[in-house]
Structure 1
């Protein structure tokens, strides 16, 4: 203590207590640093069975992956930036070691892409897409394939039926999970950040899979908080980093074992005496101290670990190998019309007044659900007033017979719930909206945004299967509007202007339009079709086969020049290199949702532009600045930078609600 010149922190006191009963932890970081060498990538030989020629940096990763499998981790994280060919790099590893079976777990939209790439670039590999109600359940049959492709939802469903069972004729029946009965050769989690929340059923299902080697693929292994890396380390089997330790005895477990919530099932000591090594050594110091003192030490520890588990290259670092065309990000700034400005100002003043009340009463942390809803309404108002004024906010969740065919409504954004899940209190939300909502709440357990009881919801539960959720029957917001008198918005007209000018320059250039709000895509589609554009759409309710067919239709038809994509459905695992323009219609909380990387990737030969459409003097301009803050946090953790940022804090919320310059002469608010 005298050497430190300060009092020991709680985490440091816990570390001392742990070392008394767990001597292997005494110098664990020194042991890792000195005992586990960092694999320096060299160029491997081109695999004989691979039809595509690997780029130099891809041959380096093949060498690195082989070495990692021979080392203590038996795998690792391949975290190359999006668009650098992580899929083909992993296929090259399959080809270089033809042992079967291998399991790939990926988002639904990526399954068919994996199948297509394996069939295109290999000879004779047997691939099974294990998805849908007719899938075989005999593990012996699955073992006959070189690669089995499935989704996170299917993996979670199988695990849940095995652990908790399901009702059949009034009885609870447990069904063994075929995925969990097999000793796989390799397991690959594509877009591995899907397991970032350690308490979800999906994360738990992935932890219980058995294999010789394990890999995490993600261009964004860290999206919001350092704590999200825990699940990836846990999946890879990092010992002791993933374990819970008792400070009173030598009890050690990968699981939190407190059946009665009072005493450890193994040693009998209380929960207060048990701590997760990751939390104690890395997460807690960074959360509490940032980059100062104990936080800086924790960052150094994290770097020691990641340097030995993760390989990450960026497009800028490997520009010579990739030979990608130039890319440009353009921020187009437009202004509200007088009518839009009046509506936004009214909404903003109400929201600001409500937020100020929370600040005055010191209840900001207790009102995340209300604040999230306020911010979402302001984002929607900046897109088109009808998204707020014509939203479906009644309490029934479904429309009556007069509007049959309308889809399920998310109670957070009042938009279509493309991937609907239900909380224990029976309120329905879109999975991605709820994921964002929980990420803003950080480590708190927030209330339900509707009934405000403690929120209990499984982010990885299967989507609700409701006839009303069939997209072909959905009328959407257009069914609630008078089309004859409907007026466009400043932002939609800005998009029409951009696309019209592009069409005059080259009528074969293809564009992708991204939005989080499906109702907004409905309005955009209506306006673009009136302007003579041929469009197609990708939505979250589509099956893997329907998604693949839609993508192929866009890629192969010259006349289809605009692809409307829901960020919830197509923000990850899409390869759309036929397009060379991306239009981002609304600001996304998470900067990791880099839509431009859907087109700026291997196979792209045209210069790429991403145009962000921003309405000045709205909440959007502040969200852009918060995105930059989050990006700095990601860069700090995944690079050697010694600075980091946390989750959406009360200070961040205050920043969002500060008055914009346009309103200074109208509203006299003090900065929060």
Structure 2
């Protein structure tokens, strides 16, 4: 074709494109005339989407009309459920059955943690119909044994399989059970081996995941906010499960950013909210399908011509405009969406059903000692200098993890200087790590290791075992499972790093000359005051830093407290044994728990006091830890004490918590108009959309 022919063809193509685009341009002009302003990018996308996908035109209805809520309806549980449901649980059972009969085929049960027992409500749902096998429950490790106990205790004739640890069953064998339970970590690992494979020798081997080879009747995600980041392998593993019905259970479905809700909507497969749409043709998909990264596998259009409906209608307007104009409309759309797929009751709304005692949250403020202040200010100056360097070089975004690490060190310094000065990576640590007995927390001169990998001084563990009655089976004083240890074994040498790897910070300290900190002494003062009032009061102590729990255990045992600990490396059986040890032994009054290992899915109503050693960026995590004791079964007033050191980074964290809490309460409130009013001008856009790094997890 000659040059003239090419020009003619190009002109004809341009004319056809212009004619095709004219209807869209006409709609845009009419919208601008009506709104009396330019259209936002999201609104321009909406015009194209509504034109090529007419089914989207009436998705939201009339935003000005608000949300009408039907009166709650109750449903009696099947007689095979061995307990009586409370009124709010009967309401949720009816709602769950209605949701499964509708287009969502499931939904989110998002009651506040004080309106608890998702497991009981889910068991009632499983029993509400002729038995269909199998259903899958995905939960944090710490919750697996609780689920198992509740199903076996309350569901008549139900068979349960815990797919965790050694000896996991094959897919065909799993189909024989009514309920299969798996942790998020195990599910993710099985999916990763299937998708990416694992190395065996010099070869990469892919292994089909039994979890993804079964067509489940129901999949239930307990503590569903574990998949809040859509790009993580845990979220992708959950998305890939095949089931007829899907449920998300979480008291905190929204923790940091509105965008986190997308992962839950995506898991539920909400149509159209979870789908990707083409702006130039009727193409629509639940997956981002661009095999060659240039063209859609279905329609051939580029990635730029495709958009996620959730991002376009809700997330982007809120991120860009906050609560003004298009952002306000997007917030109303979010409320409409959640009303269709989520049921949430608060403890205030259901106070008569729950009969919960009052909960009081106080902040005890302390002050650095002169030595601590000098160390903190030195670290602060170093941190500010490094931060200023990143700003000057324009590399702040490339060094986000480094900045987060610097801030974490400041938080640790506010807890105890040793967390910074005696960390494994600290330049100040000069001595070799020593073996520390887990019974006396002193240097173990003659150290031996139990089968559960806890290290003891030979004399200490010998005396401990001799103290048991001959008919009693001794249990490990750390994890409280049956103790297996060879008292005649050769002593562990300090150089055997493999056996000493879990010794932690105490192995790097001179314990004979060790000094406490302001934060620890605040904790000891509070617990001693409680002990003087009533020696039977039980308390939970939370920290996100395992080393801080090590120091707290050492200091509290010196002060004469009987303690136990929940550690991240415990098996489900060991965790359960430790929890039972705390609940059933009156002399054990303090339970040390890491936020990550035990901030969710525990029922510890024997305790009535909670102490938070360090403030977390996300207030929802702290409220989850408080709710370990403020739940059904608690009959005593609950006191929560946050220990904060003045003139430190902790004061700034409390301010950030207030902003995030306002955002969460507004997004999940029942009344959308009052919800918008809760968000004051001081709540900046970072609270809605921008990422705060690892601090949000």
Smaller-chain TM-score bracket = 0.7 to 0.9
Q: Distance in 2 between matches of 1:117 and 1:478?
A: 38
Q: Distance in 2 between matches of 1:31 and 1:100?
A: 42
Unaligned 5+ runs, structure 1:
407-466, 657-672
Name 2:286's counterpart in structure 1.
254
Name 1:592's counterpart in structure 2.
620
Q: Distance in 2 between matches of 1:402 and 1:635?
A: 47
The alignment status of 1:332 with 2:364, answered yes or no, reads yes
Q: Deviations over 1:628-654 (max 9, x none)?
A: 11011111111130247654699999x
Name 1:605's counterpart in structure 2.
635
**Aligned 8 A contact 2:63 2:333 in 1:** no
Name 1:141's counterpart in structure 2.
173
**Aligned 8 A contact 1:468 1:474 in 2:** no
Change in Cα spacing, 1:75 to 1:32, as seen in structure 2 (3 Å) is farther
Change in Cα spacing, 1:335 to 1:43, as seen in structure 2 (3 Å) is same
Q: Deviations over 1:414-468 (max 9, x none)?
A: xxxxxxxxxxxxxxxxxxxxxxxxxxxxxxxxxxxxxxxxxxxxxxxxxxxxx97
How far apart are 1:40 and its partner, in Å? Answer: 4.4
Q: Distance in 2 between matches of 1:517 and 1:560?
A: 22
TM-score (norm 2): 0.80
Change in Cα spacing, 1:180 to 1:529, as seen in structure 2 (3 Å) is same
Q: Distance in 2 between matches of 1:25 and 1:51?
A: 45
Secondary structure class of the residue paired with 2:169: coil
**Aligned 8 A contact 2:77 2:128 in 1:** no
How far apart are 1:255 and its partner, in Å? Answer: 1.3
Within the candidate set 145, 159, 171, 2:191 is matched to 159
Secondary structure class of the residue paired with 2:127: helix
Secondary structure class of the residue paired with 1:28: coil
Q: Deviations over 1:248-291 (max 9, x none)?
A: 22222111122222222222222111111111111111111111
Secondary structure class of the residue paired with 1:136: coil
Q: Deviations over 1:535-563 (max 9, x none)?
A: 11111111111111111111111111111
Secondary structure class of the residue paired with 2:627: helix
Q: Deviations over 1:77-116 (max 9, x none)?
A: 0000113222211111112223221110001110001001
Name 1:449's counterpart in structure 2.
none
Secondary structure class of the residue paired with 1:609: strand
Name 2:491's counterpart in structure 1.
none
Q: Distance in 2 between matches of 1:400 and 1:491?
A: 26
Q: Distance in 2 between matches of 1:647 and 1:579?
A: 36
The alignment status of 1:508 with 2:536, answered yes or no, reads yes
Q: Distance in 2 between matches of 1:206 and 1:131?
A: 16
1:635-646 counterparts in 2 under 5 A? 635-639=665-669, 640=672, 641-642=675-676, 643=679, 646=685
1:133-282 counterparts in 2 under 5 A? 133-137=166-170, 139-282=171-314
The alignment status of 1:615 with 2:645, answered yes or no, reads yes
Secondary structure class of the residue paired with 1:3: helix
Of 157-166 and 235-244, deviating more is 157-166
Change in Cα spacing, 1:40 to 1:165, as seen in structure 2 (3 Å) is farther
- Who wins on radius of gyration, i.e. which is larger? 2
Name 1:529's counterpart in structure 2.
557
Change in Cα spacing, 1:645 to 1:180, as seen in structure 2 (3 Å) is farther
Secondary structure class of the residue paired with 1:239: coil
Change in Cα spacing, 1:503 to 1:619, as seen in structure 2 (3 Å) is same
Name 2:598's counterpart in structure 1.
570
Aligned length: 589
The alignment status of 1:490 with 2:518, answered yes or no, reads yes
Q: Distance in 2 between matches of 1:291 and 1:21?
A: 29
How far apart are 1:388 and its partner, in Å? Answer: 1.0
Change in Cα spacing, 1:651 to 1:171, as seen in structure 2 (3 Å) is closer
Within the candidate set 573, 588, 591, 1:545 is matched to 573
The alignment status of 1:94 with 2:122, answered yes or no, reads no
**Aligned 8 A contact 2:228 2:263 in 1:** yes
Q: Deviations over 1:386-431 (max 9, x none)?
A: 1111111169xx999866899xxxxxxxxxxxxxxxxxxxxxxxxx
Q: Distance in 1 between matches of 2:688 and 2:235?
A: 25
1:341-352 counterparts in 2 under 5 A? 341-352=373-384
**Aligned 8 A contact 1:633 1:646 in 2:** no
TM-score (norm 1): 0.83
Change in Cα spacing, 1:527 to 1:124, as seen in structure 2 (3 Å) is same
Q: Distance in 1 between matches of 2:284 and 2:317?
A: 22
1:348-497 counterparts in 2 under 5 A? 348-359=380-391, 363-393=395-425, 474-497=502-525
Change in Cα spacing, 1:651 to 1:559, as seen in structure 2 (3 Å) is same
Secondary structure class of the residue paired with 2:194: helix
How far apart are 1:165 and its partner, in Å? Answer: 2.5
Q: Distance in 2 between matches of 1:154 and 1:293?
A: 44
Q: Distance in 1 between matches of 2:636 and 2:497?
A: 41
Name 1:117's counterpart in structure 2.
150
How far apart are 1:367 and its partner, in Å? Answer: 3.5
1:648-667 counterparts in 2 under 5 A? none
Within the candidate set 603, 626, 629, 2:656 is matched to 626
The alignment status of 1:41 with 2:69, answered yes or no, reads no
The alignment status of 1:126 with 2:159, answered yes or no, reads yes
Change in Cα spacing, 1:292 to 1:519, as seen in structure 2 (3 Å) is same
Q: Distance in 1 between matches of 2:270 and 2:261?
A: 11
Q: Deviations over 1:604-631 (max 9, x none)?
A: 1111111100111111111111101101
Name 1:320's counterpart in structure 2.
352
How far apart are 1:2 and its partner, in Å? Answer: 2.4
Q: Distance in 2 between matches of 1:314 and 1:330?
A: 21
Of 600-609 and 157-166, deviating more is 157-166
Q: Distance in 2 between matches of 1:387 and 1:394?
A: 9
Q: Distance in 1 between matches of 2:688 and 2:176?
A: 50
Change in Cα spacing, 1:352 to 1:164, as seen in structure 2 (3 Å) is closer
**Aligned 8 A contact 1:39 1:64 in 2:** no
Q: Distance in 2 between matches of 1:322 and 1:649?
A: 32
Change in Cα spacing, 1:135 to 1:304, as seen in structure 2 (3 Å) is same
How far apart are 1:359 and its partner, in Å? Answer: 4.7
Secondary structure class of the residue paired with 1:96: coil
The alignment status of 1:106 with 2:139, answered yes or no, reads yes
**Aligned 8 A contact 2:435 2:507 in 1:** no
Q: Distance in 2 between matches of 1:592 and 1:285?
A: 24
**Aligned 8 A contact 2:257 2:688 in 1:** no
